[in-house]
Structure formats: C-alpha cells, structure tokens
Amino acid sequence: MTTKAKKSLSYRDAGVDIEAGNLAVEKIKSAVRSTYRPEVMGDLGGFGGLFALGAGKYKDPVLVSGTDGVGTKLQIAFMMNRHNTIGQDVVAMCVNDVLTQGAEPLFFLDYLAVGKLDPDQAAQIVEGVAGACRESGCALIGGETAEMAGFYKTGEYDIAGFCVGAVEKSRILPSAEMKAGDVLIGLASSGLHSNGYSLVRKICFEHMVFSIDQDIPELGRPLGEELLEPTRLYPGLVLPLLTKYNVKGMVHITGGGFQENLPRVLPEGLTARVDPSAWDVPPIFKMLQKWGNVADQEMFRTFNMGLGLVMVVPPDEADSILAELSDSTIKCQPIGRLENGPRSAIVEGLK
C-alpha cells in the first residue's frame, strides 16, 4: 500500500500573505515619516513607537488618550470602492475628542484589520491617516495591519485609531469656572462626520432604495460623495485659542448629538440652552429628515446637525473669539448660553 505525498501547507495557503504585508509597509513608509515631529524617536519596524515628551514645554503635563473607529460609514467606502478619506475620519474622531480636554494631540496609532490584504488599498487608507495627522500636528508613530483570512469579506476591513495628547494640569478642560451666562460657540461640521450611519443607510438604501451614485439636486453632488465627506479636524483652528482666551469647555458633537454630549462637560446646576435657528442646517440633514420622516428630537440626538464642535466661553470674550475665527474657512457662530438648572441640554423648539 502506498501513501500519497501530502502538500506542504504554508501561511499563504491559509489566506495570509506575508509578502503582501511587507509590500504594504513599503508603500506607506514615506507617508508615515511625513508626520514625524521632533519628539519622535526611532523609525518604522519597532515593537513600539517612541515619543520623547521632552523638558521645558510643560511644567506639569497630563497625558490625554482617546480611541475610536469609523463605524458603519465604512460601508459607504466599500460601496464606492474609495478608501482615501476614511483615514481622516478615524484620526478626526480621536484628535477632536482629545482636544476637548484642552490637549494638544501628540501622536497617533492605527489598527487596520482586513480579510485579504490589498497593499494598494491599505496604502490609500494609511495615506489618509497620515494626511490627517499632519493637519492635526500629531505624529503617526505606529500601527498594526492584521490579515484575518475568512473573517472579513474580500475588499472589506475595519479600522480603529488611538491618540495621545498632552495638556498642562492647570489647564485641563472642562473648567470648574463655568457659570450661567457663558456663551456657546458652534463650529461648523463638514457634514455627517462619522455618526448616525446605521440610520443614514436605512433611510437611503432600504427606505428610499437609492443607489450610491444617486444624483441629489439639493446636495449638488451624488449621494455617495456627500455621505463619504470626511470628518472635520479641529485642533489646528482651536489650539491657538486656548493660549489666548479663557475657553472653559469644549464638546465634540458625535453619537448622541446635542442632548447626550453637551451635558458631559457641565457641572451640576447648569443647563446648556441651544437655539437651533442660530445656524443654517446643511441640506443633507434636512433631506434625511424628510426622507425618513425623522422627528426633530431624534435628529438632534443622532446627528451633529451641522456643528461638529461647541466651545463654552465667557460672554466678555465671545466677540473677540468670533472675530478671530472669522478668518477661518470654518463658519462659527454663537448658538446659545448656559443657564441655571439641572445638568442637561435643551434644544429649543424641537417637536
């Protein structure tokens, strides 16, 4: 009796291509290095990223960390087969969170999980990460690409980000000095950002049965282009304000909208009262509400409604801050005030 020789199996036979991983690393090296700050030590390839906080810049530094993902907005990227903006989304969701504590984003790490690694696709994603890191002033000092054969569909992936920033201990936000009369200043979003996409997809693709390239005249561009608009990065605009003005608190309007996020920075005894007529709600929100017959309350507790960041400032500094922000391409305006009452957020006139 003879025994047939068995094939010698390899990692590639199991669906993991080490050579493709090495190629992906080569493709992203220049993009990653372009984000380095002087504090970065070492280079790609180590088991950990090194960052020297250094002496002199901070007297009593506190590190602030944040982590997030992109959620089901990724489905829009898959539908469009476009992956060069998702990296900005994952960076923005992290650096904007860290910023709200008054911290300067210092360095960033990403985690990319794929079913089968496509080096060109991975390079697009990481180039988006690197570009957003450069704009935010933080270094991309590490990451992980996990090829998980059979776990994700071909062409699909998940991505998460991790950011560390620093703030002087005496300047951690929110400040205990908040009081009734303080002004809320809203900074415009770039669109939907990266929240509420489960509802967005249900409205657009199940209820309305739109295609991803559906032309929407009210938007002035195809639906997919609008839905994939990347999340706005706020550190470059806001950090200089923190050294000049008494910014008492900041809120990143993400999942949970206004009603859930604003109270997170308030002490007991203060209510944030928001006037939704103070700004122009972008067309995408109006269209989603119309298409899905969504109640006002549900819209404001799910989406950012056109404001991605809200600052709490003293009334005697509000005009100066607004004047300084007026030179920016990001529209800003007063949207309400703090008043005495239970810790909560009230958006006036909602049905």
Residue-wise pLDDT for 130-155, tens only, equals: 999 999 999 999 999 999 988 999 89
Q: What is the pLDDT of residue 167?
A: 97
| Regions in the chain scoring below 70 on pLDDT | 1-5, 9-11, 13-14, 21, 55
Residue the block writes with tokens 């009210």: 218
Q: What is the pLDDT of residue 280?
A: 96
Distance CA 125, CA 116 (A): 15
> Residue 41 to residues 55, 111, 137, 210: CA-CA distances in angstroms?
15, 20, 16, 49
Q: What is the pLDDT of residue 173?
A: 98
> Residue 348 to residues 31, 155, 276: CA-CA distances in angstroms?
46, 44, 7
Which residues touch 287 (CB under 8 Å, ≥6 apart)? 216, 218, 219
| In contact, 42 and 49? CB cutoff 8 Å | yes
| In contact, 203 and 291? CB cutoff 8 Å | yes
Q: What is the pLDDT of residue 56?
A: 72
Q: What is the pLDDT of residue 185?
A: 98
Q: What is the pLDDT of residue 64?
A: 98
Q: What is the pLDDT of residue 32?
A: 83
Quote the distance between the C-alpha of residue 344 and its chain's center. Answer: 24
Distance CA 87, CA 132 (A): 7
> Residue 25 to residues 121, 142, 169, 312, 339: CA-CA distances in angstroms?
12, 11, 37, 42, 53
Q: What is the pLDDT of residue 55?
A: 67
Q: What is the pLDDT of residue 30?
A: 83
DSSP 266-278: PPTTEEEEE-GGG
Neighbour count for residue 340 (Cβ, 10 Å): 10
For 210, the token pair is 């739109």
